[in-house]
Amino acid sequence: MNVRRSNPHRRVRLGSLAAAAGLLLALQAVPSTAAAQQRNPTQAITDTVADHASRHYAFERFDVHSADGQRTWRVHVAAPRGTAPAEGWPAFWMLDGNAALVEFDDALLAELAAQPVPHALVFVGYPNDLRIDSEARTRDYTPFAGERPVRSGGTITGGGGADALLEVIERQIRPEIARRVATDPNRQTLWGHSLAGLFALHTLYTRSGAFDTYAAGSPSLWWGDGALLGAPEQRFITHNAGHPARVLIGLGEGERTRDVGHRDLNDPRVQVHLRRIEAAPPDSAEKLAQRLAAVDGLQVEYREFPALTHGPMFRASLMWALHAITGVADHSDTPSHADGVDPNR
């Protein structure tokens, strides 16, 4: 297993709710600064690379609907310009497709298109202008029900729709992509961050062969009181021996040390979240990578990103996965376009 760490000196970890409460008291004098550093959950996207003609990729989009008509997903697919190989283009799938689109610019598209065998790009998102649709992703990316915080500081039970989304991907999205773009069924990568990283691991555990590479950035292993670390993992390890797959797991150093200096600890929703993440120890992602690396057939890489907390890991893990899978340069240490950089520069 490939483990990268550039800072071996660990800061003190926030290991309990009591520690979180103490830190809350310490930071009460500067809540406005902490709040300003947090991402806006209602942040909207405007123009993306999908809205502009590119010399490197041809973009299309389509919507798919659940059988009951109550849920809709918007998919953007981008095919490299030129003639596809006989076996089709390899495909790089991204969950939270709205937010992923923001992280691409024309320079990155040019770099992707210049690879010996470029990848088709698939962005699975929602038909709205939200960068992150928190309610929809909680429903779709979680394999079982769990606690979801509300702004009052309490929780409601939600989630559990991962298998339903997997059915949509297999029965609706994948066939529609195949109709529009020639893709290689043996070279398919699924990337996701946070709850979507949890979804990527659940897909690995339950849909053998659906993808050949699974990239999980900052997977929310604490969801459902850490349930994915129990029976689902054990079933997979018991029955997967010999089935090949590549697995990338990334984590920010600030996540491992439970750095909360960037959060507004007066926010009841943040307080609930800090309680929830205690369901998985801070080293859960690395320990999971070690266990999976021992499974015959799996090629596992774990990478820890110095100083990064959960939010910035969205771009970092996506850029790392693109680098590892497609061969482009590693742009994981570059600023997010969601922070105001023009993606069409």
| Residues assigned a catalytic role | 194, 255, 310
298-316 burial, b at 16+ Cβ within 10 Å, e below that, comes to bebbbbbbeebbbbbbbbb
Question: Residue with structure tokens 């009591």?
Answer: 18
HEC string for 200-242: HHHHHHHCCCCCCEEEEECCCCCHHHHHHHCHHHHHHHHHCCC
Which residue's entry shows tokens 């071996």?
8
Closest CA to 192 of 125, 273, 289: 125
How far is C-alpha 345 from the geometric centre of its chain's CA atoms?
A: 25
Angle at 208 between CA 146 and CA 327, to 5 degrees: 95
Beta strands in the chain (DSSP E): 2-4, 57-65, 72-80, 89-94, 120-125, 145-149, 155-159, 183-193, 213-217, 245-252, 298-305
- Asked if 141 and 95 touch (Cβ cutoff 8 Å), the reply is yes
Angle among Cα 24, 28, 32 to the nearest 5 degrees reads: 115
Q: Provide CB contacts within 8 A for 8, sequence distance 6+.
A: none
Contacts of 80 (CB under 8 A, 6+ apart): 56, 57, 89, 112, 113, 118, 119, 120
Q: How far apart are the C-alpha atoms of 191 and 332, rounded to whole Å?
A: 14
